[in-house]
Amino acid sequence: MAAPPFNLRIISPQEILFDGQVVGVRFPGEDGELGVLANHATMVALTRSGSLRVRSTEDDDFEFVVHSGFAEMRNNVLTVLTRAAENVESIDLDRAQKAAERARDRLRDAEGSFDKELAREALSRALMREMLARK
């Protein structure tokens, strides 16, 4: 018997990346991976950088990179709010490497006016992209 579907939405400040019916989602929670199926209890969770895996209603899997953010399950709608996300297949490895390099430079540059915290976040995002794209 096919698992019942529910709605998944992945939203970043720039766009809605995904909005559709799925049967299962696994995503990186703050204290470890969390899995969500249809009719999950109402929940709000922190997410960290990592891969969000989706089982679609057609029974194939796909994967997104998500970064720190929030996930909310309510009335059979899972809403993932994240600073940035992309489909793993569309990751531009070149760009990710350059972003990582830039972030490292900014961290090294002790006198620079760059916000270290922002640079660290950017670095972890870039590294995660690289890692998942290589897989």
Partner 1 sequence: MANIRDLRQRITSVGNIQKITRAMEMVATTKLRRFQEKAVASQPYAEELDRLVRGLSSGVVSDSDTKLNVADFFQVGDSSAPTGVLFIGSSRGLCGAYNTNVQRELEAGLETLSTDTKLFVVGKKAMNHASRMEHTVAAYFEDLDPEKMDFSEAVAVSKHMVSSFRSGDLSRVFMCGTRFKSMVRYEPYFEAFLPIEAPEGEAAAEPLLEPNGAELLDRLVPRYLETRVFYALLEAVTSEYASRRFAMKNATDAAGDMKKDLTRSYNRARQQKITSEITEIVSGAEAL
By CB atoms closer than 10 A (0-12, 13-18, 19+), residue 82 is: buried
Q: Which residues of 45-70 are buried (b: 16+ CB within 10 A; e: fewer)?
A: bebbbbbbbbbeeeeeeeebbbbbbe
Using rule CB under 8 A, residue 56 touches partner 1: no
Q: Are 68 and 82 in contact (CB under 8 A)?
A: yes
In 40-115, which residue ranges form alpha helices assigned H by DSSP?
Answer: 93-108
Using rule CB under 8 A, residue 35 touches partner 1: no
Stretch of residues binding partner 1 (CB under 8 A), selected from 36-44, 49-57, 86-94, 96-104? 36-44
CB closer to partner 1, 19 vs 61: 19
Query: Considering the complex, what minimum distance in angstroms separates the CB of residue 29 from partner 1?
Result: 6
CB closer to partner 1, 41 vs 110: 41
Using rule CB under 8 A, residue 46 touches partner 1: yes
Candidates 7, 68, 87, 97: give the one binding partner 1 (CB under 8 A): 68
Using rule CB under 8 A, residue 105 touches partner 1: no
Q: Are 73 and 42 in contact (CB under 8 A)?
A: yes
Stretch of residues binding partner 1 (CB under 8 A), selected from 23-31, 51-59, 85-93, 96-104? 23-31
Q: Are 66 and 10 in contact (CB under 8 A)?
A: yes
Q: Where does this chain bind partner 1 (CB under 8 A)?
A: 9, 11-16, 29-31, 34, 41-46, 68-70, 72, 74, 79, 81, 83, 115, 118, 122
